[in-house]
Chains A and B, each alone.
Chain A
Amino acid sequence: MKDLQDIALDAARSAGAEYADIRISNHRTQNIRTREERVQSVSNGESFGFGVRVLVNGTWGFASSHIVDKNEIAKVTKRAVDIAKANRVIQLKPVMLAPVKSYEDTWKTPIKKDPFSVPLEEKINLLLKVNEEALNIKGASFCNSFMLIMNERKYFASTEGTYLDQDTYRIWPQFTVTAVDRDKGEFETGTSEIYPMGSGYEFVEENEMVALAPKIAEQAVEKLSAKSVDPGKKDIILDSTNLWLTIHESIGHPTELDRALGYEANYAGTSFLTVDKMGKLKLGSDIVNFAADKTIKGGLASVGYDDDGEKTKEWYLVKDGMFIDYQTTRDQVLWPEYQNARKEAGLPEVTESYGTCYGDSWSSIPFQRMPNIHLDPGKETLSPDDLIADTKDGIYITGRASYSIDQQRYNFQFSGQTFHEIKNGKITHMLKDVAYQANTKEFWNSCDAICDERFWKMGGSYYDGKGQPGQSNAVSHGCPPARFRKVNVINTGKTI
């Protein structure tokens, strides 16, 4: 591999590039989909190719190809340099890269059981058994299940002297049960609260989907006759299975430095967390701490090194409720807006990237993507039962459902899989048609209780979109259940 990579690096240098990197990668996927007693599809995929990124006179150029041989690499590298040269005529200021050490290393997702090696029959039988168990519940009409498996083998090399070989695995088993009441013309769904993980097949086994299936089916059936929520300001307790997505949308995206400075304005949007708020804005209550990393075991975004060749690390974005930092890449750290704002706020100097550069394929231009971001557990001993017992008028919400947030990440609306009314410290009954709507800053400042580390759990997304052309990033978010006071709960029931 090194001899192929050196062709790109040498060709880029001799064409005048001050920096170049090449990623040669192979992406394998397996996707099994079933419904009821039927296997709808078994699809395997493999995609192999390379992408070369060059910096010429402070301007980026990129080109890629699925033909991986010496001639093509030389040709594509020249094309990347030509693109950079074409673009530099209208540039206003040069790209500056933060310093990085050189590494020669390998990294692999710690897995116990290679999911591609598990016999197909075993995976199919598991999904069909899940469907069967769900459909044994009276009132359950349909059950869809799937398993997605992904492996990315990536060889990175850069003119900084870095050569990396990384082998990443991700897996996601999931099922959804639908209960239909044809007489009333109504239907409800229940989806297993299993979220993807950077893991091997052991993650599937740990989740005991067959045992879970009847419970999810019962939830879907119960929803059909659940009471429609009375809207208003209520205390809500968000289970880890719901809160992770709220963290993703309201904390993860606004702390992307490229968004904050306008680089994503045309698509994903900008951020209400402008650099002047760093070290000054109380984003959450004193108990709210958000840490970022690309290192945690099982994290979807966890790798040894990012696509800048920077070693991954951990840092805080929000400490004791105060917004203190962003997610960065090598071409962002030296932006004067960021550096000056840190200095002005009296925050420690940051000279290296946090290592959040990622391209979702060999054909994609790498750029700043979200790391794993987690809510720290509460320091006091506190269980979800304790929280419920301490709540007079509230709703306990689990699972991921409808989610939407504006392009600066102020106003969001989230729903969930299940909703249970809490009255005077006790769960009374199931509710439906529930969504909570809030302003990010007000919401996190209304957080008055966070369960302890025993209840800390990771959720995550396989398909976080950003960029043009759109790229997908997988990312995990850990949190325990937490309570938020007086949040606006709306009723989403509607008739046409």
Chain B
Amino acid sequence: MILNKSDSRALIDKILSMTTADEARVNLSGGRAGNTRFALNAITTSGDEDTLSITLRTAFGKRHASMSVNQTDDASLETLVEKTEEAARFAPEDSEYVPELGPQTYLPIKAFSRNTAGASARSRVKGTEAALRPARRNDLISAGFLEHDHSFSAVGNSNELFAHSESTNASFSNTIRTKDGKGSGWAGDSSRDIRKVDCGDAGKRAVWKSKHSADAQTLEPGIYPVILEPQAVADFMRFAAYAMSARTADEGRSFYSKKGGGNKLGEKVSGANITVRSQPTHPELLGFPFGGNGLPAQEIPWIENGILKNLYYDRYWAHKNNVEATGFPSNMVIEGGSGSVEDLIRGAEKAVLVTRLWYIRFVDPQTILMTGLTRDGTFLVENGKIKHAVKNFRFNESPMAVLNKVENMSKSVRVGGSLVPAMHASEFNFASLSDAV
């Protein structure tokens, strides 16, 4: 269900008027989404969903609790208020309670596309057909997923803060395998506007990778130079960004903690060619203008020319440390170079080219050491050319170690909620071989 600005305000005001709490906040979210899944070159499942969520947070003094429901009738709202207040009264006083924000000013972000909002099962069939065509033509087997949504989010509180935002999103991905199971290729695309999602092109790219990844040769595990394609960079680097909690660092339990106490703000944490920021107004990304508590999203540099410039602060930790609250990173933009992945390949003497990564998990949060596997297109590059496909690897590597060894980067491109380049780094620890294709 989409509630426009005035309907959202009316519902929030109605709930706020029902509560007797000292402070209250209402979050609304919901929308309409549609998806089509296919495998073995045919559609498997497809569905539409219509959702709504109403979350009320009430506080009596420093005692607080929250509850979510998805019904808007009077009885449901009365129950919501009653149960939330009851839980808040039972909750002990929270020594870290921070009063609700007052009215805020938000960045103008228009992340809505009429094309996506109007998409249907029939438009998904068209996209699916376009992606299946190259696979069927090449006698390959395709599986994939096309989804779109039109959603809204609103927040209002007893201190007269109110914000409302609508956005759309569309994304497509497909994995194309050879019939003998020896080759597999992946490609995807996403945009706020479904008409800009090129399913046919993603199908063609996955076909190329599938055909060329068949009969992969064994490259012994070890430390090799690597070219991580943008999808692999997004898969891997988000762990470095999301670990940037100031509080966790100050408490001595993060990579960003400093030996002897404190955090690494102002210190060099990566190569001088690395700049990472959140940029909610970037036209390719267009994030949400506010966080759950109504805090405005803002442009924040996290790492600038290798120096750690900011960690993220929630409102309590910011107040305690007398700094401005940042909220959680609204998105991740890694500043890239000017060329393409092909340019990085042309410039590499020897490297392992990685399409995407899979099942990435923390091994050691202290070093952000992650393990995971390469997948759906791993190749050996020699003397500026793709020489042949190689078997997939398990890796044990830290994004922070890699960010210290980046030699070249392509132009940054949109991958989901991030804008990232492909990276050519001098070392990457491929720890063991995987037989998986």
Contacts and interface: CB of A to CB of B under 8 A. Distances in A.
Interface of A: 37-49, 51, 59-67, 76, 79-80, 82-84, 86-87, 89-93, 119-121, 124, 128, 141-142, 178, 180-187, 261-267, 269-270, 272, 274, 363, 365, 367, 402-411, 413, 415, 433, 435, 437, 439, 468-469, 488, 490, 492-496
Contact of A407 (B91, B122, B361, B375): B375
A48 B37 contact: no
Given A182-B252, A266-B39, A492 B71 contact: no
B24 to A, nearest CB: 15
B94 A38 contact: yes
A24 B402 CA distance: 49
Contact of A406 (B45, B96, B173, B436): B436
A83 B128 CA distance: 14
A45 B67 contact: yes
Contact of A49 (B64, B70, B371): B70
A264 B437 contact: no
Contacts of B400: 496
B361 A404 contact: yes
Interface string B361-372: 111101101011
A266 B202 CA distance: 13
B147 A468 contact: yes
Interface in B51-110: 51-53, 64-71, 83-84, 87-88, 90-92, 94-96
B401 A45 contact: no
B121 A83 contact: yes
A437 B91 contact: no
B70 A47 contact: yes
A437 to B, nearest CB: 6
Contact of A86 (B41, B125, B372): B125
Nearest to B56: A44
B65 A42 contact: yes
A494 B143 contact: no
A90 B125 contact: yes
A39 B143 contact: no
B43 A182 contact: no
A413 B371 contact: yes
Contacts of B138: none
Contacts of A413: 371, 394, 396
B434 A411 contact: yes
Given A87-B46, A263-B44, A408-B437, A492 B364 contact: yes
B359 to A, nearest CB: 4
10 contacts: A39-B92, A43-B66, A66-B71, A141-B253, A142-B253, A270-B177, A402-B363, A411-B436, A435-B363, A439-B435
Contacts of B64: 42
Given A66-B1, A410-B434, A180 B253 contact: yes
B42 A266 contact: no
A181 B434 CA distance: 37
A67 B186 CA distance: 38
Interface string B149-186: 00000000000000000000000011101000100101
A183 B257 CA distance: 11
B39 A65 contact: no
B381 interface: no
Nearest to B34: A83
B168 to A, nearest CB: 16
B261 A182 contact: yes
A487 to B, nearest CB: 13
Contact of B49 (A89, A141, A263, A363): A363
A48 B373 CA distance: 39
Nearest to B375: A407
Contacts of A469: 33, 35, 145, 147
Contacts of B137: none
A406 B395 CA distance: 11
Question: At the interface, is chain A mostly helix, strand, loop or mixed?
Answer: mixed
A410 B398 CA distance: 23
Contacts of B47: 51, 61-64, 80, 83, 365
Interface of B: 1, 33, 35-37, 39-53, 64-71, 83-84, 87-88, 90-92, 94-96, 120-122, 124-125, 128-129, 132, 141, 143-145, 147, 173-175, 177, 181, 184, 186, 251-253, 255, 257-261, 358-364, 366-367, 369, 371-373, 375, 392, 394, 396, 398, 400-401, 404, 431-437
A185 B122 CA distance: 57
Contacts of A264: 39, 143
B437 A87 contact: no
Nearest to A63: B48
Contacts of A406: 358-359, 373, 375, 392, 394, 434-436
Contacts of A269: 358, 375, 436
B122 A86 contact: yes
B95 A38 contact: yes
Contact of A87 (B36, B49, B261, B404): B36
B431 A490 contact: yes
Given A42-B90, A119-B90, A267-B145, 4 more contacts: A181-B252, A265-B175, A265-B184, A408-B436
Given A39-B92, A44-B67, A437-B394, A265 B360 contact: no
Contacts of A92: 40-42
Contacts of B394: 404, 406, 411, 413, 437
B253 A187 contact: yes
Nearest to B86: A120
A86 B84 CA distance: 44
A490 B396 contact: yes
Contacts of A492: 363-364, 369, 396
A49 B69 CA distance: 11
Given A63-B48, A363-B49, A261 B40 contact: yes
A1 to B, nearest CB: 16
A47 to B, nearest CB: 5
B435 A44 contact: no
Q: Which 7 A-B pairs have the closest CB atoms?
A: A185-B259, A62-B47, A408-B436, A406-B436, A265-B143, A411-B434, A180-B252
A44 B362 contact: no
Nearest to A249: B359
A87 B144 contact: no
A124 B91 contact: yes
A60 B434 contact: no
Contact of A404 (B70, B147, B359): B359
Contact of A60 (B46, B51, B404, B436): B46
A399 to B, nearest CB: 15
Contacts of B251: 141-142, 180
